[in-house]
Chain A
């Protein structure tokens, strides 16, 4: 692997990590609202969230590019306050990746929150736990498996992303060229040895990361079981 490949690999990892972290932050309240809210807006929002799965990635990337571009609504709004357009920059890649991986985070979180059920939350409420306390001390630990699934899916999906980042990023070495795009460059110039090396590095790295996550998840599951047992036992309850 050459220096450009290594740089592309670090850009991919930074992008996947940042996208995953931001998506978890943004999607937790959204998924909670989708799972427990009573608004009529939940159905259309549920449908909207799944839409990034429908469009081919290059098409999604093209629309995002037009949206962020100098004539697009976001590009113009940013230019009005003196900020550069996020197109062809790392921040543009983050925005595109977040949209592209949105359903992979919202759906497992929503289902995990729905699986918590209203009963344990009502029990907690009778013990004078505030809504925030119920969310942090009961719902979050019980939904921890959903968080793990969401994080793994978002990370892996972003790592393997190609069409969206190629379109929004512009394949600029050292700035927006991710590992999957560098593999495309090798393959397009018929340098299959180079493509194989970088693909192998990407796959092995992803495998090691996923193995580490799943090894950690085993222990975490015991925490979840403990929490579930605590809930079943009911009072006396210790709020920490």
Chain B
């Protein structure tokens, strides 16, 4: 091919290729349904695994996909205040979503309880805990782990249970209570055997069959305030209708309720 011919072919091919590319891109743009959105969800770390499990059946009924970011509720709150690009916030408590709503950072009226957690006294050792949790009163009890009552809802619930049982003062005076910075760390204290017992979330110790390994005691709900975990849609979202559709599915689909229950939560109202 001589120079002139090559130059000519380049002159023709260049615009042709760009025109084809543009046409292809337009076709792709038309093919993807208009409703498909990526929802960026900030979730309290203890619910991260469950939300992933919920995302699977949701993907079957919707074109929207979830992009899930985990952190502690307090850290996520700080990030949302600084403009983090999230559409939904799944907190481990009620206060933080309410704070966001009162500060005008959440869509008014969008707050709802997505799950209610259950507290459980747990040990990896079988037979250690009986139906009355007598082990809590025994002198040979070494260490009981709870999450930090000031920052973790499960820690506050553990404190309420121990107070109701009349054990809080005594165990504290005997320095038998160790405090984990999160409910995960609290679980780790017991799972590694460094604490004899721990007040953890039911969701952490229940397996897919609803079975709990080791031994455990579930305190009656009357001993502590319900551990409501609330979510809100954030005001900065550009995907309001997609966010609303996910929330609607989460609150109404029997599949969602089944997954929540299997994971050790009760569905919210």
Question: Which residues of A line the B interface, CB within 8 A?
Answer: 58, 62, 65-66, 68-72, 75, 85, 87-88, 166-167, 170-174, 177, 184-185, 187-191
Q: Which of B43-51, B141-149, B165-173 contacts A (4 or more CB under 8 A)?
A: B43-51
A167 near B79: Cβ-Cβ < 8 Å: yes
B214 to chain A, nearest CB (A): 14
B159 to chain A, nearest CB (A): 23
B67 near A188: Cβ-Cβ < 8 Å: no
A87 near B82: Cβ-Cβ < 8 Å: yes
| Known contacts A185-B48, A189-B52; A172/B187 CB under 8 A | no
> Which A residues lie within 8 Å of B79 (CB)?
65, 88, 167, 170
CA distance A68 to B68 in the complex (A): 23
B83 near A85: Cβ-Cβ < 8 Å: yes
> Which A residues lie within 8 Å of B259 (CB)?
none
A65 near B78: Cβ-Cβ < 8 Å: yes
The yes or no answer to B241 lying at the interface (CB within 8 A) is no
CA distance A172 to B87 in the complex (A): 12
B84 near A87: Cβ-Cβ < 8 Å: yes
CA distance A58 to B182 in the complex (A): 15
A173 near B69: Cβ-Cβ < 8 Å: yes
Contact size class for B? 20 to 34
> Which B residues lie within 8 Å of A72 (CB)?
82
A188 near B70: Cβ-Cβ < 8 Å: yes
A58 near B82: Cβ-Cβ < 8 Å: no
The yes or no answer to B219 lying at the interface (CB within 8 A) is no
A167 near B204: Cβ-Cβ < 8 Å: no
| Known contacts A166-B71, A173-B69, A174-B67; A188/B85 CB under 8 A | no
The yes or no answer to B40 lying at the interface (CB within 8 A) is yes
Which residue of chain B is the closest to A173 with respect to CB atoms?
B67
- B46 CB contact (under 8 Å) in A65, A167, A188: A188
CA distance A87 to B79 in the complex (A): 9
CA distance A190 to B45 in the complex (A): 10
B75 near A167: Cβ-Cβ < 8 Å: yes
The yes or no answer to B213 lying at the interface (CB within 8 A) is no
Which residue of chain A is the closest to B47 with respect to CB atoms?
A189
B11-52 interface (Cβ within 8 A of A)? 40, 42, 45-46, 48-49, 52
B184 near A188: Cβ-Cβ < 8 Å: yes
> Which B residues lie within 8 Å of A68 (CB)?
82
Per CB-CB distance, the 5 closest pairs between chain A and chain B, nearest first, are A189-B49, A69-B82, A188-B45, A171-B69, A70-B83
> Which B residues lie within 8 Å of A171 (CB)?
69-71
Residue among A71, A72, A171, A184 with the highest chain B CB neighbour number at 10 A: A171
B174-206 interface (Cβ within 8 A of A)? 184, 187, 204
B78 near A188: Cβ-Cβ < 8 Å: no
